[in-house]
């Protein structure tokens, strides 16, 4: 070994070894996160084969049970799609999400613009704080807040409002016809404040020179909103839209399970894919059916999120996630 | 000249009338957001028999603290659930912030050769997942999360979306030249991370910490999946359990048997449920102003693309 090689031994080792030594500290930093992702995200991805098996616990551990369980191909899916549930849960998930996306986007944007237009900063901050409050509360708390209003025997609406109007009390938790509205309202109540603040913070970030130039040209406030504010925050609107659309096959279990208090009579209008999977897994212990529904959701969700991202990339490449 | 100035002012702010209308709309919505919570607070302070007669009202006809006394005297379950929620929230938030920041920093460094690989490794978890069933079975059978405090912490340690927000924050707020200068001064990667990057990233970290705190504090889902042991039940899940029966309040206490029927019959169940909601919401509402200060700042830079 000559002196030069002794001093620079990196030549003796392969390039990747040198590279990883150089980045050792950075790899160490990534390590805990990689571990969490591997165990809680990647391992379950391989677990999707459960959906193609008649999964049963044999003696021994989970893996041996998994391998011993019989392959049944698509039979779990056949069972799932033969039930009327499959159609109902898909329809509910998609329709609610479509209504949520449009209503939340429009109302949050409108509130953000209003907050930006009103003259008093102090009042604006008070409104922002109040609107943001529901975002901080859990769905279980939200379900209690709703219950305080619509409890059949003690709720504020039945005992105070309807009574003073001389109307009969309504059995809210067994009347499916009201629930599509209640669900949409509660969802808006929870999310509008948060979305509104995201829009507002990007409105505040718009360069004031645009507005000054418009004023010199004699544009009024309304024209300024249409021609400056909206186009300027379009990228943010598109990104938020992408996030929503990509998750169109997902539903918030808290909203659809906790808020209607899992009332069976309301299932036709409140059961979404997530509620169905949760109920059949945790209550019935039906692994076959629930794993089929869960995989159906993952796969279709994967396609929608790729499609949504592709669409955004066409419109505004800078706003795409990848 | 004065008229022109007035015209210009008209263009730079809404008219007085419009301003009033906007304020009325916004005030109305702000009230819709706050009033439900006020109703629940009012109910929690109302006498149980008054509730039975008049139902839930904003102004209690007969004020009573009995619900709170009852919860803290009888319900050792509430106290234990509260303790679990606090512990899980504190440990979970600190740990997840640390792990996420440690992941976000290397992938924010433009000179890190594998940043694209690790970014993809992260983002892919946003695109595809194994679904609830597979995740649950692996959580129970491989990770042994059943009836373990880890079951309430581990699943939420990494959130791909928040890591991306942090990465963007690091990228836009910490100049490469600063890191380079520190390295020339002989600082190692960990020293740079903890002494330079983290302090500069406080607004971004605070935003993510807020999200993480809320997620842990408000979570009932992980408890529904993994927790059967009454000693490990967090407050939101206890709230879910008492929807159907107040019996759950007694599951952890020593005076089971003959006593419990007696206690249940005297229980101010309506007011006590709402009092539990108030207790659960309290700390979140108190920390609210603290987080609000960082929020708009953090979110502005929290644009996803970097």
Q: Are residues A162 and A72 in the same domain?
A: no
- Please judge whether B13 and A221 are an interchain contact, meaning their C-beta atoms are less than 8 angstroms apart: yes
Alpha-carbon distance A208 to nearest alpha carbon in chain B (angstroms):
11
**φ, ψ of residue B80 in degrees (nearest 5):** -65, -40
Helix (H, G, I), strand (E, B) or coil at A259: coil
- Please judge whether A302 and B34 are an interchain contact, meaning their C-beta atoms are less than 8 angstroms apart: no
Q: Are residues B118 and B267 in the same domain?
A: yes
pLDDT at B302 over 50: no
- Please judge whether B190 and A25 are an interchain contact, meaning their C-beta atoms are less than 8 angstroms apart: yes
Task: Judge contact between B234 and B152, C-beta under 8 A.
Answer: yes
Q: Are residues A199 and A59 in the same domain?
A: no
Say which CATH number the domain at A250 has.
1.10.3720.10
Which of A39-48 are b and which e, b meaning 16 or more Cβ less than 10 Å from the residue's Cβ?
bbbbbbbebb
The CA distance from B16 to A195, in Å, is: 27
- Please judge whether B240 and A291 are an interchain contact, meaning their C-beta atoms are less than 8 angstroms apart: no
Task: Give me the residue label for tokens 């209008």.
Answer: A269
At residue B232 the predicted structure's pLDDT band, cuts being 50, 70 and 90, is very high
Q: Are residues A219 and A268 in the same domain?
A: yes
- Please judge whether A221 and B11 are an interchain contact, meaning their C-beta atoms are less than 8 angstroms apart: yes
Predicted confidence (pLDDT) per residue in A101-140, tens digit: 999 999 999 999 999 989 888 898 889 888 988 988 999 9
Q: Are residues B120 and B267 in the same domain?
A: yes
Chain A: residue whose CA lies nearest to B164? A321
DSSP letters of A31-48?
HHHHHHHIIIIIHHHHGG
Helices (H), A56-178: 62-68, 75-82, 84-117, 121-136, 139-150, 156, 163-164
Q: Are residues B133 and B28 in the same domain?
A: no
**How many domains is chain A partitioned into structurally?**
2
The residues, ordered by sequence, that sit 6+ positions from A303 with a Cβ below 8 Å of its Cβ are none
Alpha-carbon distance B73 to nearest alpha carbon in chain A (angstroms):
23
**How many domains is chain B partitioned into structurally?**
2
Chain A: residue whose CA lies nearest to B108? A26
- Please judge whether A160 and B214 are an interchain contact, meaning their C-beta atoms are less than 8 angstroms apart: no
Task: Judge contact between A137 and B284, C-beta under 8 A.
Answer: yes
Domain-located, residue B2? no
Identify from A15, A147, A148, A255 which residue to disrupt to test chain B contact, counting B C-beta atoms within 10 A and taking the largest count.
A148
Alpha-carbon distance A88 to nearest alpha carbon in chain B (angstroms):
19
Domain-located, residue A221? yes
Max avg pLDDT among A141-155, A238-252, B25-39:
B25-39
At residue B8 the predicted structure's pLDDT band, cuts being 50, 70 and 90, is low
Q: Identify the pLDDT of residue B258.
A: 47
A25-39, B232-246, B281-295: lowest mean pLDDT where? B281-295
At residue A263 the predicted structure's pLDDT band, cuts being 50, 70 and 90, is confident
- Please judge whether A136 and B288 are an interchain contact, meaning their C-beta atoms are less than 8 angstroms apart: yes
Average of pLDDT values for A177-198?
Answer: 93
Counting one residue from chain A and one from chain B, the pairs whose CB atoms sit within 8 A come to 300
The residues, ordered by sequence, that sit 6+ positions from A179 with a Cβ below 8 Å of its Cβ are A260, A266, A269, A270
Final residue in a domain of this structure, among B44, B64, B84: B64
The residues, ordered by sequence, that sit 6+ positions from B153 with a Cβ below 8 Å of its Cβ are B88, B91, B92, B95, B216
Domain holding A99, by residue range, is 86-319
Task: Judge contact between A278 and A289, C-beta under 8 A.
Answer: no
Domain holding B205, by residue range, is 76-300
Measured between beta carbons, which residues in chain B are less than 8 angstroms from residue A204? 296, 300
The residues, ordered by sequence, that sit 6+ positions from A204 with a Cβ below 8 Å of its Cβ are A116, B296, B300
Between B258 and A254, where is the model more confident?
A: A254
Measured between beta carbons, which residues in chain B are less than 8 angstroms from residue A148? 36, 39-40, 43, 56, 274
Helix (H, G, I), strand (E, B) or coil at A71: strand
Measured between beta carbons, which residues in chain A are less than 8 angstroms from residue B142? 39, 43, 62
Nearest to A148 among B10, B40, B304 (CB): B40
* Angle of helix A179-204 versus helix A230-246 axis, rounded to 10: 140
Is the complex ipTM higher than 0.90?
Answer: no
Measured between beta carbons, which residues in chain B are less than 8 angstroms from residue A44? 129-131, 134-135, 138
Return the ∠ at Cα A69 (arms to A68 and A75), rounded to 5°: 150
Return the ∠ at Cα A96 (arms to A91 and A97), rounded to 5°: 105
The CA distance from B201 to B173, in Å, is: 7
Q: Identify the pLDDT of residue B300.
A: 47
Measured between beta carbons, which residues in chain B are less than 8 angstroms from residue A28? 190
Measured between beta carbons, which residues in chain B are less than 8 angstroms from residue A123? 23, 26
Q: Are residues A103 and A248 in the same domain?
A: yes
Domain-located, residue B229? yes
The CA distance from A273 to A290, in Å, is: 9
| CB neighbour class for A170 (10 Å; exposed up to 12, middle 13-18, buried from 19) | middle
């Amino acid at each position: 070994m000559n002196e030069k090689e002794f001093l620079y031994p990196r030549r003796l080792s392969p390039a990747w070894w040198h590279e990883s030594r150089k980045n050792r500290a950075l790899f160490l930093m990534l390590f805990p996160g990689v571990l969490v992702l591997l165990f809680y995200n990647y391992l379950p991805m391989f677990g999707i084969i459960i959906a193609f098996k008649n999964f049963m616990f044999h003696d021994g551990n989970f893996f041996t049970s998994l391998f011993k369980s019989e392959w049944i191909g698509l039979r779990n899916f056949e069972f799932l799609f033969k039930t009327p549930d499959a159609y109902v849960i898909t329809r509910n998930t998609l329709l609610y999400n479509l209504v949520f996306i449009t209503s939340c986007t429009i109302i949050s944007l409108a509130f953000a613009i209003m907050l930006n237009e009103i003259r008093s900063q102090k009042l604006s901050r008070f409104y922002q704080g109040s609107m943001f409050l529901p975002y901080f509360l859990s769905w279980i708390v939200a379900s209690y807040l709703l219950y305080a209003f619509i409890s059949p025997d003690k709720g504020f609406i039945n005992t105070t409002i309807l009574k003073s109007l001389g109307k009969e009390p309504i059995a809210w938790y067994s009347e499916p016809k009201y629930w599509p509205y209640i669900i949409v309202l509660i969802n808006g109540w929870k999310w509008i404040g948060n979305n509104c603040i995201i829009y507002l913070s990007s409105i505040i970030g718009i360069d004031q020179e645009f507005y000054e130039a418009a004023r010199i040209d004699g544009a009024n406030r309304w024209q300024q909103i249409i021609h400056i504010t909206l186009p300027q925050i379009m990228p943010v609107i598109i990104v938020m839209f992408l996030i929503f659309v990509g998750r169109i096959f997902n539903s918030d279990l808290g909203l659809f399970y906790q808020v209607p208090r899992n009332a069976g009579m309301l299932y036709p209008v409140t059961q979404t894919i997530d509620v169905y999977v949760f109920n059949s897994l945790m209550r019935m212990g039906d692994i076959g059916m629930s794993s089929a529904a869960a995989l159906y959701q993952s796969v279709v969700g994967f396609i929608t999120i790729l499609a949504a991202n592709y669409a955004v990339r066409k419109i505004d490449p800078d706003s795409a996630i990848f | 000249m004065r008229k022109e100035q007035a015209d210009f002012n008209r263009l730079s702010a809404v008219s007085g009338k419009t301003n009033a209308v906007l304020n009325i709309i916004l005030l109305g919505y702000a009230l819709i957001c706050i009033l439900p919570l006020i109703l629940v607070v009012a109910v929690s302070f109302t006498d149980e028999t008054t509730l039975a007669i008049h139902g839930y009202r904003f102004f209690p006809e007969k004020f009573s603290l009995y619900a709170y006394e009852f919860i803290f005297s009888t319900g050792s379950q509430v106290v234990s659930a509260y303790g679990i929620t606090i512990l899980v929230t504190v440990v979970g938030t600190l740990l997840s912030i640390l792990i996420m920041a440690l992941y976000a920093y290397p992938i924010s460094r433009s000179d890190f050769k594998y940043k694209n690989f690790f970014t993809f490794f992260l983002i892919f978890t946003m695109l595809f997942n194994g679904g609830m069933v597979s995740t649950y079975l692996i959580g129970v059978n491989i990770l042994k999360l059943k009836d373990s405090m880890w079951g309430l912490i581990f699943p939420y340690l990494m959130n791909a979306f928040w890591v991306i927000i942090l990465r963007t924050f690091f990228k836009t707020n910490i100049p490469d030249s600063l890191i380079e200068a520190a390295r020339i001064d002989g600082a190692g990667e960990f020293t740079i991370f903890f002494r330079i990057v983290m302090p500069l990233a406080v607004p971004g970290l605070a935003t993510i910490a807020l999200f993480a705190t809320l997620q842990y504090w408000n979570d009932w889902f992980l408890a529904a999946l993994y927790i059967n042991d009454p000693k490990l039940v967090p407050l939101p899940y206890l709230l879910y359990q008492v929807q159907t029966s107040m019996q759950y309040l007694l599951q952890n206490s020593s005076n089971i048997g003959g006593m419990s029927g007696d206690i249940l019959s005297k229980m101010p169940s309506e007011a006590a449920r709402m009092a539990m909601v108030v207790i659960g919401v309290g700390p979140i509402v108190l920390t609210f102003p603290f987080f609000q200060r960082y929020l708009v700042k953090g979110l502005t830079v929290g644009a996803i693309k970097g």
